[in-house]
Amino acid sequence: MTVLSTLAPVPSDEIFALNRAYATDDNPQKVSLGVGVYRTDDGKPWPLPVVCEAEQRLLAEDSPFRHEYTAIEGDMAFLELARDLMFGFSSKDTSEELQNTKGRIGSVQTVAGTGANHLGALFLATQMKPKRVWLSNPSWANHLTIWELAGVPRKTYPYYNATTRSLDFTGMMATLEEEAEEGDAILLHACAHNPTGLDPNKEQWKEIADLCERKKLFPFFDSAYQGFASGSADEDAWAVRYFLNEKPNMEMCVAQSFSKNFGLYGQRVGAFHYVLPNGDQKLRDIVVNNLCHLIRGEYSMGPTGGCNIVKKVLTNDELTAQWHEDLKIMSSRIKSMRKALYEELVRLQTPGSWKHIVEQNGMFSYTGLTPSQVYALKDKYHVYLLKSGRASISGLSKKNVTYVAQAIDDIVRNVN
């Protein structure tokens, strides 16, 4: 008898299972609103022009070192660029104050944003040992898996008001105020909350920061969409930078992904940043050392291909400027598709309010559709989205938005 005789199956990942179902569907009108990847108006992948240019330049350089090992913590030049992008540091600022702030941050390269989240959760579980981690309800499904595997008990705070289809900020703050305890970790989406597309405004972020400081909670930011959500890398990093600069005595960490904002989904480019309290720079190297210990036992070092592309772009003023233009192209198309879907549903007089579609931001919309309506959309119209009603807006186009709106209108009228 095998030692695995008691092994039980685990549920398939819904997003990847949905994508497989879509791929095998031969209906010509099928629409994928499931997987979170950017698509053009023709429904095709879009290698960013700036990424293509960076690839050509790297190919021309023909560096004999391009396949070599890096350090366990990763490519040091890349890490400085990633840190500066995340926290808004200028390479031209040589002030003592900025150097002190940089000295509070320990950074390592990871296997994309998922790897950064996992590494951070594992590091906190082994070193800080929080009693629990607070996740938004709902949150990215993989957050639950990551913290489960790290062995940290999970609790949720209210985030989405299903009745108004808006942010339940009052419920969030009340729950954390009453139930969160000193030393708890709290997972915060830096921008473009997945799956709802709802973010706190700046005044609400300030209240969240005050609560974390007062109750001695540990903020864990997941930044997967910097620059992709609004088109501005600075605007999308506002919350992280506020915590860093206005709460200098508070520890926190940031999981940073380059999948969405560089279109490097398969290259797995990411970084993890641990921010120490003001005056504790001497601990930075010890933090990095311990993170490297975990990295060495898992993947030894981050992959170099994608990080070389990011490094090439962010070390060249011309390419950096082009990247910012590419971000605007992606974010503006997403916004235009939100507007088009909303206007079509209004034109059809689809029952209910659909204003939330344009009030949300980023790649996803929490449509408010029920699981039975989602299943009906797939079975009758071959429109694929998650059973929670989360739709990837990038799957919409000028060619299919009318069809999708009509499908939603029919399903809403006829399926509970």
| Active site residues per annotation | 140, 222, 260
Query: How far, in Å, CA of 382 to CA of 21, rounded?
Result: 10
Determine contact, residues 57/312, Cβ cutoff 8 Å: yes
Determine contact, residues 355/198, Cβ cutoff 8 Å: no
Can you name the residues that pair with 161 across neighbouring β-strands? 166
Tokens of 306: 């994608």
Contacts of 258 (CB under 8 A, 6+ apart): 82, 112, 264, 267, 269, 270, 306, 310
Determine contact, residues 219/381, Cβ cutoff 8 Å: no
Contacts of 398 (CB under 8 A, 6+ apart): 41, 340
For residue 130, whether the previous peptide bond is cis, meaning omega lies within 30 degrees of 0, is no
Query: How far, in Å, CA of 384 to CA of 34, rounded?
Result: 6
Backbone angles phi, psi at 326, to 5 degrees: -60, -40
Determine contact, residues 384/378, Cβ cutoff 8 Å: yes
Determine contact, residues 329/357, Cβ cutoff 8 Å: no
Query: How far, in Å, CA of 320 to CA of 175, rounded?
Result: 42
What are the b/e assignments for 22-54, b being 16+ CB within 10 Å? beeeeeeebbbbbbbbbbeeeeeebebebbebb
